[in-house]
Amino acid sequence: MIRAATENDIAEIRLMISELAAYERAVEQARATEEQLREALFGAHPAAYALIAEDDTTGGVVGFALWFPRFSTWTGTRGMHLEDLYVRPHARGGGHGRALLAALAALCLRSGYERFEWWVLDWNQSAIDFYKSIGADFLDEWRVCRLTGDPLGELAARAPAVAP
């Protein structure tokens, strides 16, 4: 079963984020707290949204998808960015990942979103194969850019004053 996340899912989402970070070899980077997730997902101005996958037999949480809207200046429409898709190892192959993606695709269409995009690590061949099996295009000509830490601060220090 796929359902919208509730505040009662925060601890489980945080745990799955830790599990995903371990799988992606980046445990030290997964620093979000339960309080931050609660505010981001259920605060006055949500920054993101989440779906939960539950095992039909046990009712246990076996995965989640966390996404947020984005905007394309080229199409003039919103789209969806999938930040995290995770299915616990014992539940992989059971259709939960496909069901989460299908639910998000349906949400895109209902919302008038023209694009549904996400990133995948280049070494995660099983995920790449899975995404290819559902018809995903891989945009090899685009590179992800990121500023964090000192370089972010150094660039920000050079910012001109911005009029209100």
> What CA–CA distance (Å, rounded) separates 152 from 162?
18
Q: Which of 49, 86, 113, 131 is catalytic?
A: 131
- Torsion angle (degrees, nearest 10) of CA 123, 124, 130, 131: -70
* Closest to 46 (Cα-Cα) out of 6, 17, 103, 84: 6
CB 121 within 8 A of CB 127: yes
> What CA–CA distance (Å, rounded) separates 101 from 65?
8
> What CA–CA distance (Å, rounded) separates 75 from 112?
12
For residue 141, the tally of other CB atoms under 10 A from its CB is 5
> Is 131 annotated as catalytic?
yes
Active-site positions?
A: 131
